[in-house]
Structure 1
Amino acid sequence: MEQQQLKRCPIGIQTFKEIIEKDYLYIDKTEYVYRMAHGASKYCFLSRPRRFGKSLLTSTLHSYFAGKKELFRGLAIEKLENEWTEYPVLHFDMSRAKHVDKETLESMLSFQLSGYEQVYGRPEEAVKLNDRMASLIMRACKQTGHQVVVLIDEYDAPLLDVMHEETDLPVLRNVMRNFYSPLKACDPYLRFVFLTGITKFSQLSIFSELNNI
């Protein structure tokens, strides 16, 4: 009798596409992905400790909303989803912005925006980070004909090291607040917004304007 070979565990791998294509062990959570995507609210927030699988879930949502049907063969969502619409996805990983000052944080946010601006363009008048974010969402929606999906992994990462500092926290918090502020104004252009983090919103006061999350 031929012995069945066990699949490798994806230790340290947080990208859904890599897990599937390299045939790592994957515990199927795609039914929950479908329920989130088709729930009553298009704004979702997941607050959980480190090493909880938040980044993998965000990556799975990215593949799903990008219409990568081939990656979901044999999984629960394959029987649930019939349309597989390809939405424009803006995926921001804030874990890159740890241990930074104001200038470095703004530079890192600008770098992440610029990657998508190479695809959808950027008007000359959009200079500030919040204006660039708003412009990016609207242009992506207009050019593709589909509402935009915004995924923000570890939204609070730039602030965790300064949570108890009276000088640095307000400065960095204002940068992040301005960066996220278009998420409310751009509501008509948004299909789904998903954020992960360790701290609750009330602890950082970033989303005072975005109370629908």
Structure 2
Amino acid sequence: MSTAARKKLPIGIQTFSDIREGGYYYVDKTSVIHRLVEEGKYYFLSRPRRFGKSLLLDTLRCLFEGREALFEGLDIHDKWDWQVQHPVIRLSFADGVLTSREALDRHIEELLRAEKERLQLSLQNTSIAGQYRELIQQAHEKYGQRVVVLIDEYDKPILDNLLEPGAPASCARG
């Protein structure tokens, strides 16, 4: 293989479209993704930090949004119904440091507001739980498909509040 034809390693890249469109190496895991989607309903994915969970969730987002061109040449391409597009709600707790319950609540409200605007919905509820429920219900009604909810870095607010690994809960800040 000549140097000009070599692909780049996707170090630190967590966006599926950046990898596929940017000429990076990509290990095709879409056969496993297809099996997950076909065989189950809810999943809790627990793997070590920096182990590809965010990239996996972004791949799922692109898949359910029906972005077919990104999957050309991959195992799942001929197995997926590209005519069906699902509304996707993706909530990520990766940004910032949340050191209090109030900061966490504000962050969740910001995430829900951003998803509401992206999906062009209007929410009436004022509580976080009500907004979350309404966001899912309205997205389903507007787009006529089941809603896909992806939550990334769910544990980061907990880790932000530990003073030291293994410390008891009474030692947490906030």
Does the alignment reach a TM-score above 0.5? yes
The letter for the 2-side match of 1:60 is T
1:9 matched to 2:9? yes
For 1:67-125, what per-residue CA distance to the aligned partner results, in whole angstroms no more than 9, with x for missing partners? 0111000001112224452100000111225342112111111111101222342343x
- CA drift at 1:166: 2.6
2-structure distance, mates of 1:72, 1:165: 44
Counterpart residue number, 2:157? 158
TM-score (norm 2): 0.88
* Unpaired runs of at least 5, structure 1: 172-213
Query: What displacement does 1:165 show?
Result: 2.6
| Pairs aligned (count) | 167
Instruction: Please report the RMSD computed on the Cα atoms of aligned residues, expressed in angstroms.
Output: 2.0
TM-score, length of structure 1 as denominator length: 0.72
Query: One-letter code of the match for 1:57?
Result: L
> 1:139 and 1:120, CA in 2 relative to 1: closer, same or farther beyond 3 A?
farther
Q: 8 Å contact 2:116–2:123 — kept in the other structure?
A: no
Cα deviation for residue 167 of structure 1 reads 7.3
Gaps in structure 2 of 5+ consecutive residues: 163-167
Q: Distance in 1 between matches of 2:42 and 2:96?
A: 23
1:35 aligns with 2:39: no
Match of residue 114 from structure 1:
113
Higher RCO (Cα < 8 Å, 6 or more apart): 1
In 2, Cα distance between equivalents of 1:94 and 1:68: 24
